[in-house]
Structure 1
Amino acid sequence: MADAPAAEPAEEDVIVDPWTVSGNINYDKLIEQFGSQPLTPALIEKFERVTGRTAHTWIRRGIFFSHRDLDAILDNHAAGKPMYLYTGRGPSSESLHLGHLIPFHFTKYLQDVFRCPLVIQMTDDEKFLWKDLQLDECHRLAAENAKDIIACGFDITRTFIFSDLDYIGSMYPNIVRIQKAVTYNQVRGIFGFDDSCNIGKHAFPAVQAAPSFPSSFPHIFGTRVDIPCLIPCAIDQDPYFRMTRDVAPRLGFLKPALLHSKFFPALQGATSKMSASDESSAIFCTDSQKQIRDKVNRYAYSGGRETVEEHREKGGDLATDISYQWLRFFLHDDAELARIGDEYSSGRMLSGEIKAELVKCLVPLVAQHQQARALVTDDVVKTFMTPRPLVGASAES
């Protein structure tokens, strides 16, 4: 069955596309509009049975909530056949924030589960086309951001990180195949481009699509086209891969499979998204303990009541309280999360106290990341970004 066309917003104030996320998002409606499938308890059970691993906290808590063809990936894995993972990063800031870490921490988990190769695309070309940045600055930021990505613990023998500006020659045959198979009107319809957009924006979706096909990496997979790809990403990136899945059969390639996550909210509220350009919206990987505490205390939207008396009576609103929402991402102890949720929703725990719980969770997380990043030398980055064979790949044609 063909994937659904690009979605129209469910309501006038809801926008979900690769560049803008706003409004009160109904994820069930988003699944229906995008034409993906919900990550059901039965599929989660199959994941655990086939892999022999417990499903990640983010799967069990519904943070990764939607998929395309995950069942086919599991069948492929059960048959002992090769596969690979693909994710990416658009380098537009010096440092990553915690929202940026979500797909990489999850991809690291998937790499450990499937013990397979991983390719990570640094779209420095995209950021040059969309942002007010110089080309050499985008290229430099790609290498800097790679250090944060490597600090997440990826297996160097199974991971290839590449800058589009450096590696595009190897992908170019597949890029032009994709470009020839997609019309101008299709790109406009999927991505909303208008006549004022530079032509690079119209051409770029093919660049993001190309890593979905193993022949874009001949040093890893040789000429094989029968190795499936699984892409973990936030659901706002899905338009790229609806296009990719549409053209894949016509080019003789497999459709990539996807795992979609919900959005990590900004400090200011659950209907917003973190932004690297807004310091107050995010906790950055470079923030000090004091900066983390100050940002949480000052900016984290509270689901508490206006007075202590009212809060004790009615309790806090877990659905809107950012401290609790962030704890759902980063506090992996289910029993402790349940305890905090019960204490806060009952009114026994105050807003300042749940913010303190979040700070207690985030400070060691960021400190551990900073320690790991400090060990990533330029030579380590160079090794990760050098085209080479990877463990777990079969390059036989």
Structure 2
Amino acid sequence: MFRKGILGVVALALLVSLCGMAFAGQSKVGIMTGTTSQGEEEYRAAQEMIKQWGADRIIHVTYPDKFMDEQETTIQQILSMAQDPDVKAIVLVQGVPGTAAAIDKVKEIRPDMFFINIVPHEDPLMSAQKADICLETDNPARGISIIEMAKKMGAKTFIHYSFPRHMSYPLLANRRDIMIEECKKQGIEFVFVNAPDPTGDAGIAGAQQFILEDVPRQVEKYGKDTAFFSTNCGMQEPLIKSVLKTGAIYPEQCCPSPYHAYPGALGIEIPADKAGDVAFILEAISAKVKEGGGAGRFATWKIPATMGMAYAATEYAFGIGDGSIKGYDNGKMVELLKKYCGDGIKTSTYVAPDGKEKADNFILFVGESIIFGL
């Protein structure tokens, strides 16, 4: 069992850091996130930041659900935040296509604007050149850790759901390739399944329905000792539901966090007085997983990765605004990531798959995992 004092790191760090932080200036921070349908966790993180820092200090906008087709809207949303002269830094959660072009346009009118790009969808090296800081979970390292977790939970087959757009992203494609090699080492059969792109004609509903229908087919074909993974946030909730119902294995979400899809999939209500209580949500998930017969076959990270990155980036951004932080400070950014994501995270900086190019301002990290019901 984990004590609240340990697992409540995000909530406690947030309260301790923000209580009594009063800046003399009136600098503001802009935050762009997905909608609740595309990325509920990141949206809720922005709302939490507004509660903590004040609605007068944060401008929050969202990128469109069909961001691939509406990149101009994304650009305009980012530009709208930059129009306010009091906005000194902008946090992008996630850096969907169009972000790089938007940063260029903002820099034309606001060359001093500081950008923190969380989970960039565009080329990693280009993203690092455009933004001042990029943050992401360490997908190459997760290519190994996710398969190791699946093996630990008894997987004999690993189903990887994705689609061409995601496989065009270097970090995700590299992770897939590493997963294939790791499965060979672990004696696990790797199976790639093309799923509908949620930004396509079928939309999020179509992609979710596909997952609900396909998981039982795969379990019937490969057996219950099959681990399932999807690269898309919107697919996680139906994936958890189907995996639990069929008795299969779920090692980790695309964006690992106790709050990502688990509460919705398992019907967990979070009381107002338990918001941010990581110990509560971990215990609630464990109870539901046990009840559904999935003990020892479901896992995630002990901390909310995307929310932690958003909290850390926002505090860093306000530091830029009030002058207490100057430009890119790797040590400070890592310090804040550990503050909100736990001291146990392992950080590194981006190195291209060929090993020839790197980006020191692109920080990657891996968190600690927990298997539910044990």
Higher Cα Rg, which structure: 1
Larger strand share, 1 or 2: 2
Same-fold status (TM-score > 0.5):
no
- Normalising by structure 2, we get a TM-score of 0.33
